[in-house]
């Protein structure tokens, strides 16, 4: 799974709250990871002082030579 950082920003564009999603534990896929990220975005969008919300996705690529 990729790591996501969802950041709520104020009117100056400064990050005032951030949530990192690095793991979702499920026996079988019940919830898609993008649905979880979307839910976190919606939650932060309703927080006091948050004007905009952005999400960044980070993936680690390992190459064996």
- Whether 35 is covered by a domain: the verdict is yes
Other Cβ atoms closer than 10 A to 58: 10
At residue 60, the pLDDT reads 86
- Whether 65 is covered by a domain: the verdict is no
- Whether 64 is covered by a domain: the verdict is no
Cα distance from N-terminal residue to C-terminal residue, the chain: 23
Q: Name the domain count of the chain.
A: 1
- Whether 15 is covered by a domain: the verdict is yes
- Whether 7 is covered by a domain: the verdict is yes
At residue 36, the pLDDT reads 96
Domain extent, residue 21, equals: 3-58
- Whether 45 is covered by a domain: the verdict is yes
Query: How would you write the pLDDT of the chain (65 residues) with one tens digit per residue?
Result: 789 999 999 999 999 999 999 999 999 999 999 999 999 999 999 999 999 999 999 998 888 98
Q: Cα separation of 46 and 29, whole Å? A: 27
- Whether 63 is covered by a domain: the verdict is no
pTM confidence score:
0.84
Supply the DSSP string of 5-58, one letter for each residue.
EEEEE-TTS-EEEEEEE-----SS-SS-HHHHHHHHHHHHHTSTT--EEEEEEE
């Amino acid at each position: 799974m990729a790591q996501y950082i969802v950041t709520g920003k104020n009117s100056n564009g400064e990050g005032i709250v951030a949530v990192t999603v690095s793991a979702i534990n499920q026996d079988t896929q019940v919830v898609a990871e993008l649905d979880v990220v979307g839910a976190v975005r919606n939650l932060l969008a309703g927080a006091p002082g948050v004007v905009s919300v952005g999400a960044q996705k980070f993936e680690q690529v390992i190459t064996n030579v």
